[in-house]
Chain A
């Protein structure tokens, strides 16, 4: 960067940070919370939806429209990653023999640890996704843990499993699309059943697991989508690495 540009940049930076700090003095002090929307939402979630986690109730029921927007940001970014990286892979060929070599080079213990850790991680994922409306958790966290369960297998060295997964990548793509479409369908279900987009139209229970109306279904849809999306990104990056020699 030239001298003139760096001086201008520093002046702009100082003005920005100074302006933000000065603007912060106009806010209410830290800890003095004055808005009432959050208080109403927090105290209405238990009697209204019978779900104890008011953050998940807010994200998937009261503000489900915002979560729909975020889901589509995720979907579109993954489409962008695939468009960029799949053309890259198509230019260079890919050899099955090279991958088998690398698979035989990984040690036994890492492969066994990778396979052994995948099972409990999937159980933890299902627990966190389904109990989203009762305890901290939900679809987003569960989806990322699901991706890490498969990544454990790949890091452990079972590249053949990952390859087979990528050859059946149609299933992963369908899971991701089903998650995104499922969330939108839940919104349309509310529109059809009760006349309001994303209205919570299923019966809400009293306590236990089947509470909160459509919130468990929305959690499962989001978990599928986030897990599938991150899995496809990691698989695309990994497959590039498997070509040729190790670094």
Chain B
């Protein structure tokens, strides 16, 4: 096992731990995108170009897109729930 594979494996482990440690969802989405990129580099080094192509395409377009849209919709639901008639004394949001 040469040095490149060792470095990439360590990087994958570190970025994976970082993704779990970040608690706020939007920042974690960026970390998940970074994890997909490093994972794709590891797959290239393991001589798997098809898998690396899949991982790049999915991890940079599909998964962060769906995550950010879902986070936006959750925030929108929370804001419209704050404007219920029972909470009319609160002025604006945030």
Q: Does A82 contact B (CB under 8 A)?
A: no
Listed in ascending order, the chain A residues whose CB lies under 8 Å from chain B are 30-31, 53, 55-56, 136-138, 140-141, 144-145, 147-148, 151, 230, 233-234, 237-238, 240-241, 244, 247
- CB atoms of A240 and B57 under 8 A apart: no
- In the assembled complex, the Cα of A147 lies from the Cα of B1 at a distance in Å of 38
Q: What is the chain B residue whose CB lies nearest that of A30?
A: B1
Q: Which among B53, B66, B73 is the interface contact of A240 at CB below 8 angstroms?
A: B73
- CB atoms of B62 and A141 under 8 A apart: no
Mark each residue of chain B from 19 to 50: 1 if its CB lies under 8 Å from any CB of chain A, else 0. Answer: 00000000000000000000000000000111
- CB atoms of A141 and B54 under 8 A apart: yes
- CB atoms of B61 and A144 under 8 A apart: yes
Q: Which among B61, B73, B75 is the interface contact of A148 at CB below 8 angstroms?
A: B61
Sample 30 A-B pairs with CB under 8 A, ordered by A number: A30-B1, A31-B1, A53-B50, A55-B48, A55-B50, A136-B49, A136-B53, A137-B53, A138-B50, A141-B50, A141-B53, A144-B54, A144-B57, A144-B58, A144-B62, A147-B61, A148-B57, A148-B62, A151-B65, A230-B62, A234-B65, A237-B66, A237-B69, A238-B69, A240-B73, A240-B76, A241-B69, A241-B73, A244-B80, A247-B76
B54 contacts which chain A residues (CB < 8 A)?
A: 140-141, 144
Listed in ascending order, the chain B residues whose CB lies under 8 Å from chain A are 1, 48-50, 53-54, 57-58, 61-62, 65-66, 69-70, 72-73, 75-76, 79-80
- In the assembled complex, the Cα of A161 lies from the Cα of B1 at a distance in Å of 51
- CB atoms of B50 and A145 under 8 A apart: no
Say what secondary structure dominates the interface of chain A.
helix
Question: In the complex, how many residue pairs between chain A and chain B have their CB atoms under 8 Å apart?
Answer: 53
Q: Which among B50, B70, B79 is the interface contact of A237 at CB below 8 angstroms?
A: B70
A141 contacts which chain B residues (CB < 8 A)?
A: 50, 53-54, 57
Shortest distance between the CB of B63 and any CB in chain A (Å): 10
B50 contacts which chain A residues (CB < 8 A)?
A: 53, 55-56, 136-138, 141
- In the assembled complex, the Cα of A140 lies from the Cα of B51 at a distance in Å of 10
- In the assembled complex, the Cα of A31 lies from the Cα of B54 at a distance in Å of 23
The residue in A31, A145, A240 that gathers the most chain B C-beta atoms within 10 A of its C-beta is A240
- In the assembled complex, the Cα of A30 lies from the Cα of B5 at a distance in Å of 11
Q: What is the chain B residue whose CB lies nearest that of A148?
A: B61
- In the assembled complex, the Cα of A137 lies from the Cα of B62 at a distance in Å of 17
Q: Which among B48, B66, B72, B76 is the interface contact of A233 at CB below 8 angstroms?
A: B66
